[in-house]
Each structure stands twice: as C-alpha cells, then as structure tokens.
Amino acid sequence: MIDVGGRDSQGFPMFGFSKQPINPSMKAILAVLFTLLFVFPSIAQEERVEKKLVKWIDQHNEEALFLLEELVNINSGTMNFEGVRAVADVLMPKFEALGMEVRFTDGSRFNRAGHLFAKIEGGKGPKILMIGHLDTVFEPSSPFQQWEKVDDNTVKGPGIADMKGGDVIILQALSALHAQGLLQEMNITVVMTGDEELSGSPLSASKKELINAAQWADIALGFENADGNPATVNVARRSSSSWKLEVSGKAAHSSQVFKPSVGTGSIYEASRILHQFYEELSGEEFLTFNPGVILGGTDVTYDEKTKSGTAFGKNNVVAQSTIVTGDIRCLSSEQLERAMEIMQAVVAKNLPLTESSIVFNEGYPPFAPTEGNYELMRKFSKVSVDLGFGEVTAVNPADAGAADISFTSDYIEMGIDGMGLSGANDHSVNEVGYLDALPKQTKRAAVLIYRLTK
C-alpha cells in the first residue's frame, strides 16, 4: 500500500515509507491520472449534453418548419400593426411554455406596433441578449404574401430570411436548452422588435427598451441572416443616419449671376458643398455618404414623411433655395463624429451671398468591430467546426448594413450578428430561405449558448 508522506518544495506529493519525493516520470504519470479523473469526465459530460441538444433539434425540425411557414404567411409589414402583433401572438405562448416572462410593449408613442420581450434569469452565468424582429418590408399591398416551395431545400416567402427564420431559430435553440433542463439556469433576454425595417420616431423611444436590454446584457447574439452565407457572421455593422442640407441664395436675373451684388445662387453653392464632401471624404475606408434627393430653384418644398418634394424655377432666374437630403454610414462613433465635423466645416465656407446649414438626424449607431466581438466569433466558429459545419469568418463591414444589434455596441462585452436563416434576395419579391440551414443554425446557436454559460 502506498503511503502519502507530505509534499516536496514544488508542491508535489511524496509517496512511500521513506518519505522521499517521487521522480519526474511519476509526476508526469500522476498529472495524466488527475486529468483522466477530473477533466475528461467533465468533457465527456459536456459532449453528451451537446449531442442531446443536436438530437432534440433534429427530432423537432418538422415542428420548426411548420411554425416558420405559419409566420411567413402572416403579413407583418412594419406599418401593418395588426400583422406585426399577430406574429407576436403566435410566438409569445411558446416562450411562456419555456418558463420565460413574456410581454408585448405598445409602440403607439413612436407610431409602430410594438416589441416582444421574453426573459429568464436563473443562474450566475453571463447575461445573453438574443435579437430578432417581427416586421418585414412587405406591406399588405405587396404582391408577395405567401410561402412557396421552389424545391426541396428552397422556399420563397416574404421575410423568410429577413428574418422570420431567425426568430424560429431563437425559439428552437432555447427550446432545446429547456428540454435538457438547462434554460432555467441561464440568464437570457429575447427582444423581437416590431420596427426594424422602418424604425419608429422618435428613434430614442423606438429603441429605448432594446437599449435597456443591452445595458443589462454581457453578450448580444443577432439572428439576421448577414450576407446569406452560413460560413460568415457580422462582427461589425456600419451606422445609418441621415442629413439635410439647406442652402439659400439671392434671387435675381440670370444675366447678373456672379456679380458682387448677386453672388452664385443656391444651386451653385449646393454643388460646391457636395463636390467638396466628395473631395475630402470619399477616400476614407468604411465611410459612405450619399445625396439621395436634391431640389433647387426659386421655390422649393420637401416632405420628410413622403421623402418627396417640389421645385419651381426658371432658367433665367438665379436659384434662391436648394434642399439636399442623404445618408451617412460609418464603422465607429469616432469616424462618424469626424465626418460630421468635416462636413459642417465644408458647409460653413459659403460662396458669395449664400447661406447654408446641415442637420444630422438620429439613426442607427455603428456596431464597432471590437476584440470581444472577434473572440465571440472564434467561439462560434469552434462550435461550428465541432459540429462538422466548418469554420466561420467575418463579413466585410463594407457589405453590412445597420441592424438592431447596432444599439447594443456601447454596452456589451461581445456580440455577433448573422446567426439567422441563410437565404438570398432579401427585401425583394424573390426572397428565399434555405431549409437545410434551419436545423444547422439552430444547433450552432444552442451549443454556443450552452458553452458560453459553462
């Protein structure tokens, strides 16, 4: 029988009646034994859990497909408030069945249907925010309304990829965790907004509760479909906000233009400003700014709601008023601030007898590419590889538009987007989703959440 006789100067146990330290080879053997006794059983247990999650998802995939078809066939264009609420009404009991606290917040204060929230807090692990949205770009007037199978793996349908498929993935991943008795030990909040495709106003009211959820969370997982490629996720998204340039000049007969008493008129000044925007900023990576509407002449009107206007003028009259509206997209708050400062400086350098002003409106902030986001992507990629689905890399931010996850950027430790249903042709009547991606993405989401909580 081996006797334990204390420990040596390095902390290793001394065995035998002689109380002498064991040799290095024995230390190596003991290290292996400790690994076998304590580490391997833990790894084996986690692998068993993950296999059960995968098996449950496969066994319930038909249910998920039926639910996806039901949701796609409900028109939930952003301005169809009853339709948006109808989608929420289908999903809410299913989250309640998982033991989650569920509510629907009224959106009347920002002129939208509202948002769905589901929450469970039961453990000491990280707080995870899962983000989806209920609305689509297809209003009741759209000819695109129904689920239509193209082939065994492809379905056309309004919002199937953007993003009712992602909503189903959220529910199924949590259902798989619940079935294994894991969900009640986790801290999860689900937010499905009702106005992602056409945000309510004011934006501060529309996104207030999403921001509150982000302030609560440590990790954010977005279930948009990214670029449609399941081998990629978004670690960054550019901002999206708007600007309005207003220019005034002195109306006069065109024969007097450029004279000191008349100046250049508003259209020349607007063109000078736009050209200088291009000259000073167009070469900056990840920064874009686009003038989408321009109206100039003697008399100009512009309607913010309809994004349309009128312009009256004559060829022989120097233009008195010009309005330009556009958008601006950046990868970081610092880039946005710097771009706005440069644009304001350009606007201030008025040509003779003109005055100009530019206003930047609130919009989607950038989802900046932090190291935490990249670390989460690497964890997700490891899950994907372990499940046999291959590595996951980052979408080029230049190809990524704004999304609801953008509002979490200032608060979370790490986040990724693009975990939803793979598809193509979003926002068009040819939008499709790929059915084989539904269980695949659900498995990756469920296993990732399980590992994050470990």
Q: Which CATH class is domain 57-238+366-453?
A: alpha beta
pLDDT band at 400 (very low <50, low <70, confident <90, very high): confident
CA angle 251, 255, 256 (to 5 degrees): 60
Q: Round to whole Å and give the CA distance between 307 and 292.
A: 10
Domain with CATH 3.40.630.10 in the chain: 57-238+366-453
Model confidence at 7: pLDDT above 90:
no
What's the token pair of residue 16?
């035998």
Residues 95-121 pLDDT 10s = 999 999 999 999 999 999 999 999 999
Residues 160-200 pLDDT 10s = 999 999 999 999 999 999 999 999 999 999 999 999 999 99
Residues 69-93 pLDDT 10s = 999 999 999 999 999 999 999 999 9
pLDDT of residue 14: 45
Domain with CATH 3.30.70.360 in the chain: 241-360
Query: What is the distance of C-alpha 75 from the center of its chain?
Result: 22
Closest of 446, 451, 444 to residue 230, by C-alpha: 444
What's the token pair of residue 51?
């296999």
Q: Residue 56 pairs with which residues in a beta bridge?
A: none
CB within 8 A of 274, min separation 6: which ones? 291, 324
pLDDT band at 307 (very low <50, low <70, confident <90, very high): confident
pLDDT band at 24 (very low <50, low <70, confident <90, very high): low
Using only the alpha carbons of the chain, give its radius of gyration: 29
Model confidence at 128: pLDDT above 60:
yes
pLDDT of residue 11: 45
| Average of per-residue pLDDT across 207-212 | 96
Q: Round to whole Å and give the CA distance between 424 and 229.
A: 9
Half-sphere exposure of 55 (CA within 13 A, CB side): 8
Q: Round to whole Å and give the CA distance between 288 and 159.
A: 27
pLDDT of residue 41: 56
Helix (H, G, I), strand (E, B) or coil at 76: coil
Helix axes 333-348, 266-281, angle to 10 degrees: 140
pLDDT of residue 22: 55
CATH match for 241-360 among 3.60.20.30, 3.30.70.360, 3.90.870.10, 3.30.200.20: 3.30.70.360
Whether 244 and 153 have beta carbons less than 8 Å apart is answered as no
